[in-house]
Structure 1
Amino acid sequence: MERGKINFFEKMATRITAWTGSSMAFGVAFGIILVWGITGPIFGYSDTWQLVINTGTTIVTFLMVFLIQKSQNKDSKAIQLKLNELIAASRFASNRMVDIEDLSETELDVLRRFYQKLAEMSEADNDIHTSHSIDAAQRLHKHKKGVVSGLTNGDTGSQE
């Protein structure tokens, strides 16, 4: 697809979704429904009268689904990039969190459980400035594995 065509669709999608989320758009939609309702007795509440509103709302809904999805995808991508920048800029944040939106649902659930555990650890701390991270947790885990391994091999567990 040509760049001009992509930009045209993107610009139109952005404008339309911005407008349809406005009070004016709601007023126009409400006005159309009101006019349709008032004309019911004039047309004897016929099948054609009902078909007009059903067809119109179906078409608008069908098209809006795609425009809204386009807008949400763009917003989502922008938010992810902003979050990635914040993670990359923070010296204490784990860079492993960059692009996690590409993980499977199961992998995300594993991370969610880990962060729930970190939240529980943070709540248990008396010092609210204590930091927990994936990297710190992994270092501690490796350390504990080494101590346990040493204990099973006859080591007393004493540190240097």
Structure 2
Amino acid sequence: MAQKQAVDQVEERPKGDWFSRFATSCSNLLGSRWSFVIAIGVVVVWGVTGPLFHYSDAWQLVINTGTTIVTFLMVFLIQNTQNRDSRAINLKLDELIHAIDAAQDQMVDIEHLSDEELDVIAKGYERMRENITRTQGERKSSRVKKQNT
């Protein structure tokens, strides 16, 4: 019930702060094929103008500075979008864990564990997978033996 109320509260509020909306809009725009085409066009125009500027240091500096600035700013936009997406995915997974009675509640908030704690859990699931694989193999071999007799 509390989860339903939390979701209802989110729906009443505007979708994110100004930076989140800006970052999402930029990510959507800059991730489009047209942005890629424009970027290719800029590089081609820059390359074609090389002879006009005698391949000078200033000519090279234009593309170097431009790409450095764009890359620097994109890192922050991409990280913001990635953080938000990861958080949303984790919340969705937490909801699924809560919804499944047989699920282990220890998996909720697992993203806050240390790398060592995650390794221990991963090894536990690896052993579980090996046991399941071994059990399935034993079942198959016993079925084959029954069919041959």
TM-score normalised according to structure 2 size: 0.80
- How far apart, in 2, do the equivalents of 1:121 and 1:25 lie? 50
User: 1:110 is aligned with what amino acid?
Assistant: V
1:87-109 CA-to-partner distances (Å, cap 9, x unmatched) read 01000100000001000000000
Computed over aligned residues only, the root mean square deviation of the Cα atoms, in angstroms, reads 1.6
- How far apart, in 2, do the equivalents of 1:11 and 1:19 lie? 12
Q: Number of residue pairs matched?
A: 124
Runs ≥4 in structure 1, deviation > 6 angstroms?
A: none
TM-score normalised according to structure 1 size: 0.74
- How far apart, in 1, do the equivalents of 2:17 and 2:118 lie? 33
5+ long unaligned stretches in structure 2: 1-12, 138-149
5+ long unaligned stretches in structure 1: 128-160
User: 2:27 is aligned with what amino acid?
Assistant: T
**Residue equivalent to 1:61:** 71
In the TM superposition, what is the alpha-carbon distance from 1:112 to its structure 2 partner? Answer: 0.6
**Residue equivalent to 2:30:** 20
1:21-74 CA-to-partner distances (Å, cap 9, x unmatched) read 110010010000000000000000000000000000000000000000000000
1:126 maps onto 2:136 in alignment: yes
In the TM superposition, what is the alpha-carbon distance from 1:18 to its structure 2 partner? Answer: 1.2
1:83 maps onto 2:115 in alignment: no
1:46 maps onto 2:59 in alignment: no
- How far apart, in 2, do the equivalents of 1:102 and 1:20 lie? 31
Identity across the alignment (%): 54
1:71 maps onto 2:60 in alignment: no
- How far apart, in 1, do the equivalents of 2:80 and 2:136 lie? 46
1:99-123 CA-to-partner distances (Å, cap 9, x unmatched) read 0100000000000100000110111
More helix by share: 2
Higher radius of gyration, 1 or 2: 1
